[in-house]
């Protein structure tokens, strides 16, 4: 008689065997090259993560750009920039086109290199030699010149913030030849040459006057600060009163991003300023106009130093509640499974030294759980590491409270099949399972055949044939624990757009191949 442990009859569809090994050398499914590049274009930060270093990611991207059609690479760059608001990865993909298809690069350049930051990224990547050349070349140089000669004063001022390279470096490198007097004066001002101040455009003129008054110590406390990027004011000898005026005039997004700067300059020590800033942050109309989404506010809350008053930090939580109204509801019997294993404590955008994000992978998992729970109080939350961890979350608690509760139990190995196994043991009826993890499952590794996660999902499907599984891989690599099919969506990385993607997939209005599908639908025609 044959060994029934090896040859037992399985119910349901024949499951595909694992085709790869993940970073923990456990069985997994390899994503197709197009799917790999799609995820990297939408989520890749080219920094060291828990499982991959920056050099390995760069090599992986460059290998994919060599393997895939340049048209798909161009579309991936456009998608990553326009739909996912990425910076480094779209610039890298654009730089790769400078080597493989410079005519195509010229066609799509304005849709990818749409800001001064992107322009500086593109130039630095090309001159680094990483993509196979160290000079810009005549056509890319002309594209950079065209951007500089078409940008508005506001765009140029924003581009002037930052180094490696600075915008001055770029101007010296490509030698744009302006035909407008204001632009010629502005480039001279930028690179430190003699210029005619009366020829400068209005904002830059105002900045020059403001700098002189600041140096003389004669700025009135109620004087209006010039509308230059916030960073250009930080080196000036301004008083707390001046910074308070800047805070009153600043946009909602600027205030959200610069709370630590305001604290450092003593703004919150002035009477009424904590209340004024808090009121601006929690203003429902301002939150709506800024199109604030939960992840932005989670980032601001996590980044806020202890010197930011509790009232202001509380206002960020109030704004979070307002932002949660923008998250689509996911109805039915929903189960959210946040990974709380040890690797989830790493920064969500990778290790970047002093610039590392204060938001960890586990915070993002908590955000997903809290957002779903807020819209569907009956949803279950099953945190897992090696096993499912018992935890009761109150749907009325704040996202920040949920994040702290989940982070407090973090540790242990990764077992992505654990929550599915528990649901099967309970014979639970479910409509949607959302798995939020870094996807490097190893505790449940099997020797042959399908991964344990896919096996458990197939068992669950026998009771719940209409159920759908969403796997959010917060730090995607090239593998997944569940193979793509109609009822399974693999999402690489995280931004606020993930909430909409999940809702569309669950409703049946998005195919499982949405990464590649959405990119393929893009037109390369000039817009």
- Is 264 a domain residue? yes
Instruction: Evaluate whether 79 touches 518 at the Cβ level (below 8 Å).
Output: yes
321 and 396 inside one domain = no
pLDDT per residue over 436-447, tens digit each?
A: 998 888 888 887
- CATH code of the domain containing 373: 3.40.50.410
pLDDT per residue over 277-325, tens digit each?
A: 999 999 999 988 887 878 888 888 988 999 999 999 999 999 988 888 7
Domain boundary at 326, 341, 375, which? Answer: 326
- Is 427 a domain residue? yes
- Is 85 a domain residue? no
Mean pLDDT value across residues 368-377:
87
Q: Count CA atoms closer than 13 A to 104's CA, side-chain side.
A: 20
- Is 495 a domain residue? yes
For 84, counting Cβ atoms within 10 Å of its Cβ (0-12 exposed, 13-18 middle, 19+ buried), the class is middle
Residue 311 structural domain: 218-326
Say what the pLDDT of residue 118 is: 95
Say what the pLDDT of residue 4 is: 47
pLDDT per residue over 320-365, tens digit each?
A: 888 887 788 888 999 999 999 988 888 876 555 554 567 888 888 8
CA triple 132-138-143, angle to 5 deg: 95
Domain count within the chain:
2
Spatial separation of the C-alpha atoms in residues 53 and 41, rounded to whole Å: 17
Instruction: Evaluate whether 44 touches 57 at the Cβ level (below 8 Å).
Output: yes
What is the chain's mean pLDDT, rounded? 87
312 and 342 inside one domain = no
341 and 308 inside one domain = no
Say what the pLDDT of residue 356 is: 56
- Is 412 a domain residue? yes
Spatial separation of the C-alpha atoms in residues 141 and 10, rounded to whole Å: 61
334 and 320 inside one domain = no
Q: What is the pTM of this model?
A: 0.82
């Amino acid at each position: 008689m044959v060994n029934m442990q090896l040859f037992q009859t399985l119910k349901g569809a024949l499951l595909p065997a694992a085709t790869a090994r993940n970073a923990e050398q456990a069985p997994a499914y390899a994503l197709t090259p197009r799917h790999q590049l799609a995820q990297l274009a939408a989520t890749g930060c080219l920094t060291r993560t828990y499982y991959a270093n920056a050099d390995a990611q760069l090599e992986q991207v460059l290998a994919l750009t060599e393997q895939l059609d340049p048209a798909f690479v161009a579309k991936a760059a456009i998608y990553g920039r326009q739909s996912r608001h990425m910076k480094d990865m779209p610039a890298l993909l654009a730089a790769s086109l400078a080597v493989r298809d410079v005519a195509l690069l010229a066609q799509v350049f304005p849709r990818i290199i749409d800001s001064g930051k992107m322009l500086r990224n593109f130039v630095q990547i090309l001159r680094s030699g990483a993509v196979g050349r160290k000079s810009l070349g005549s056509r890319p140089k002309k594209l950079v010149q065209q951007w500089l000669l078409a940008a508005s004063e506001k765009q140029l001022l924003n581009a002037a913030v930052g180094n490696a390279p600075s915008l001055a470096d770029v101007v010296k490198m490509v030698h744009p030849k302006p035909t407008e007097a204001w632009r010629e004066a502005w480039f001279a001002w930028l690179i430190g040459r003699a210029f005619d101040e009366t020829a400068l455009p209005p904002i830059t003129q105002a900045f020059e006057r403001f700098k002189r008054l600041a140096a003389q110590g004669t700025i009135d406390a109620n004087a209006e600060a010039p509308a230059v990027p916030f960073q250009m004011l930080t080196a000036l000898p301004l008083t707390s009163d001046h910074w308070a005026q800047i805070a009153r005039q600043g946009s909602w997004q600027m205030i959200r991003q610069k709370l630590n700067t305001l604290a450092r300059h003593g703004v919150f020590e002035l009477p009424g300023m904590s209340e004024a800033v808090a009121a601006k942050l929690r203003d429902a109309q301002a939150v709506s106009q800024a199109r604030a989404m939960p992840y932005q506010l989670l980032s601001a809350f996590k980044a806020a130093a202890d010197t930011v008053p509790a009232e202001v930090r509380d206002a960020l939580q109030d704004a979070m509640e307002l932002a949660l109204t923008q998250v689509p509801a996911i109805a039915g019997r929903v189960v959210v499974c946040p990974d709380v294993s040890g690797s989830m404590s790493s920064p969500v955008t990778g290790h970047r030294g002093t610039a590392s994000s204060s938001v960890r992978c586990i915070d993002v998992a908590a955000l997903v759980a809290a957002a779903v729970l807020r819209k569907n109080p009956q949803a279950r939350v099953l945190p897992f590491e090696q096993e499912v961890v018992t935890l009761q979350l109150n749907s009325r608690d704040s996202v920040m409270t949920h994040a702290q509760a989940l982070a407090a139990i973090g540790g242990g190995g990764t077992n992505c099949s654990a929550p599915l196994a528990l649901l099967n043991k309970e014979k639970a009826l479910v409509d949607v399972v959302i798995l939020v993890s870094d996807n490097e499952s190893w505790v449940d590794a099997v020797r042959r055949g399908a991964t344990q996660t896919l096996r458990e999902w197939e068992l669950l499907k026998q009771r719940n044939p209409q159920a759908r599984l969403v796997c959010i891989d917060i730090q995607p690599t090239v593998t997944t624990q569940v193979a793509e099919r109609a009822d399974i969506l693999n999402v690489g990385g995280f931004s606020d757009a993930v909430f909409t993607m999940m809702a569309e997939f669950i409703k049946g209005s998005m195919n499982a191949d949405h990464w590649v599908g959405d990119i393929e639908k893009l037109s390369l025609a000039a817009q």
